[in-house]
């Protein structure tokens, strides 16, 4: 673990790994960025390595169900990195790519399969998958799976699995629906519930604040933030893929390089965009909530909510793209007059009043440095920027 830069286990790892190794069913609720993936990857790798089985066509020993392709690819990478010297066979299965190579890989049997529901059911129907001998079932980002309508898929997959298996249920949030589903999945007589979840769901190492900005002024403040800190790695969240593309084009007009990530981008390109952002080749990622969950890029320094999320819970997950692990992070939300109700819902969800940067009272320096022309009048700067740009976008 030292080679991976891990000196000591996080709270969720410390509390979950022991119970998993003892063969108990676990339902774990913990904040985003607290090491949930390693909490189930380390013990399942150990158990599979030490309990050898013969391979057969389509054979799977551990099934990890996840809601998105990006998350499937990422978790498969974590498993491979941790288990590179174990000989354990790991495979990420998801749509958006050709099936033929996936079927050939599955022909030889797989120890750990990380899969999205759609492609998994496709290949199961084609008899390319054998789920009848799964020993470990893991549901990761379970709350998002429910939000995305995968509850029926989760229940359906249980029909193909042996009744005798170990069940691990990991989620960032808890609700009555999640509890109900968890108790359907896990063994009712053998469940250990672990919750590492303080009252405020935003991680304590993330400084988050809101600033009240008119809709037409958001572009200006994002531009200044990115220009003042050109070396900073930033994730910017917008509400729709159309708005993401517009923000990317607006930044390009002022010579700020960024890339767009949303559901309309081809899957192969989405992976390439994330890899460029991860490597630092691109330092500004403008995205929808497709990147709000599960994407682990430790070096993200700043999150900007260009638009507030429609779902309050997503605020926590967006903020969680920074401040990963022991790192500190910052998140700033732009709130227009029409988004005040969304802000109220977020504050009710988090249980706290979010700190406000009041730009009208000269707190501009708290967000970005003074401009090169020496003025502290942000309204004057705004008028100047709009007159030079010649545009009046109101998206």
Q: Are strands 60-65 and 136-139 parallel, antiparallel or unpaired?
A: parallel
Which of these three, 139, 162, 196, is where a domain ends? 196
Helix (H, G, I), strand (E, B) or coil at 100: helix
Residue 338 scores a pLDDT above 80: yes
Does one domain contain both 96 and 228?
no
Question: Nearest 10 degrees: CA dihedral of 115, 117, 123, 127?
Answer: 100
Residue ranges of E strands in the chain: 25-30, 60-65, 90-93, 110-115, 136-139, 166-171, 191-196, 206-212, 234-237, 259-261, 284-287, 302-305, 329-335, 355-357
Does one domain contain both 233 and 381?
yes
Which of these three, 196, 220, 252, is where a domain ends? 196
Residue 188 or residue 70, greater confidence: 70
In a domain, 201, yes or no: no
Helix (H, G, I), strand (E, B) or coil at 103: helix
Does one domain contain both 322 and 240?
yes
Does one domain contain both 238 and 356?
yes
What total number of domains does the chain contain? 2
Does one domain contain both 247 and 365?
yes
Asked whether 364 and 378 are in contact (CB, 8 A), the reply is yes
At 267-305, the pLDDT tens digits run 789 889 988 998 999 999 999 988 877 677 878 999 999
Asked whether 299 and 280 are in contact (CB, 8 A), the reply is yes
Does one domain contain both 133 and 241?
no
| pLDDT reported for residue 381 | 41
Mean pLDDT over residues 104-119, rounded?
92
**By mean pLDDT, which of 16-30, 73-87, 316-330 is the weakest?**
316-330
| pLDDT reported for residue 46 | 95
Residue 189 scores a pLDDT above 70: no
In a domain, 143, yes or no: yes
Rounded mean pLDDT of the chain?
83
Residue ranges of alpha helices (H) inside 254-377 are: 267-279, 312-319, 340-350
Does one domain contain both 230 and 264?
yes
Q: Which domain holds residue 271?
A: 206-389
Does one domain contain both 237 and 178?
no
| CATH number for position 223 | 3.40.50.300
Does one domain contain both 192 and 286?
no
Residue found by looking up tokens 């029909």 in the block:
159
Give, rounded to a whole angstrom, the gap between the first and last alpha carbons of the chain: 46
pTM for the complete prediction?
0.68
The Cβ of residue 74 has, within 10 Å, a number of other Cβ atoms equal to 22
Residue ranges of E strands in 7-135: 25-30, 60-65, 90-93, 110-115
Helix (H, G, I), strand (E, B) or coil at 366: helix
At 207-240, the pLDDT tens digits run 999 999 999 999 999 998 899 888 899 999 999 9
Asked whether 249 and 286 are in contact (CB, 8 A), the reply is no
Asked whether 200 and 351 are in contact (CB, 8 A), the reply is yes
In a domain, 179, yes or no: yes
Residue 5 scores a pLDDT above 70: no
CA 264 to each of CA 51, 82, 240: distance values in angstroms, whole numbers, following the listed order: 43, 32, 10
**Percent of the chain at pLDDT exceeding 90:** 45
What's the CA gap between 232 and 68, in Å, rounded?
A: 27
């Amino acid at each position: 673990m030292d080679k991976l830069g891990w000196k000591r286990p996080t709270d969720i790892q410390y509390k979950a790994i022991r119970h998993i190794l003892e063969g108990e069913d676990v339902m774990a609720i913990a904040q985003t960025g607290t090491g949930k993936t390693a909490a189930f990857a380390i013990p399942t790798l150990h158990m599979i390595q030490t309990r050898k089985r013969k391979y057969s066509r389509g054979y799977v020993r551990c099934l990890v169900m996840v809601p998105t392709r990006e998350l499937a690819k990422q978790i498969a990478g974590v498993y491979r990195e941790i288990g590179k010297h174990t000989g354990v066979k790991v495979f990420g299965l998801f749509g958006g790519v050709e099936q033929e190579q996936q079927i050939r890989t599955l022909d030889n049997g797989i120890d750990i399969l990380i899969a999205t529901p759609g492609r998994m059911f496709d290949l199961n129907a084609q008899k390319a998958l054998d789920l009848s001998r799964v020993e470990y079932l893991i549901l990761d980002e379970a709350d998002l799976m429910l939000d995305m309508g995968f509850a029926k898929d989760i229940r359906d997959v249980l029909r193909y699995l042996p009744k005798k298996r170990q069940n691990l249920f990991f989620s960032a949030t808890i609700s009555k629906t999640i509890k109900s589903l968890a108790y359907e999945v896990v063994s009712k007589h053998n469940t250990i519930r672990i919750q590492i979840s303080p009252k405020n769901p935003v991680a304590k190492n993330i400084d988050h604040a809101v600033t009240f900005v008119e809709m037409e002024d958001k572009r200006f403040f994002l531009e200044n933030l990115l220009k003042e800190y050109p070396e900073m790695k930033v994730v910017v969240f917008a509400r729709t893929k159309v708005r993401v593309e517009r923000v990317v084009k607006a930044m390009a007009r002022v010579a700020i390089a960024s890339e767009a990530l949303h559901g309309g981008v081809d899957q192969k390109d989405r992976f390439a965009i994330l890899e460029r952002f991860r490597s630092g080749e691109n330092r500004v990622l403008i995205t929808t909530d497709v990147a709000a969950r599960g994407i682990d890029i430790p070096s993200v320094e700043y999150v900007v909510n260009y638009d507030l999320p429609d779902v309050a819970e997503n605020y926590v997950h967006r903020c969680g793209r920074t401040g990963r692990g022991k790192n500190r992070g910052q998140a700033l939300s732009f709130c227009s007059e029409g988004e005040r109700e969304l802000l109220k819902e977020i504050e009710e969800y988090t249980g706290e009043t979010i700190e406000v940067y009041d730009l009208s009272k000269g707190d501009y320096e708290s967000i970005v440095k003074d401009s090169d022309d020496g003025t502290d009048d942000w309204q004057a700067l705004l008028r100047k920027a709009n007159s030079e740009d010649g545009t009046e976008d109101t998206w």
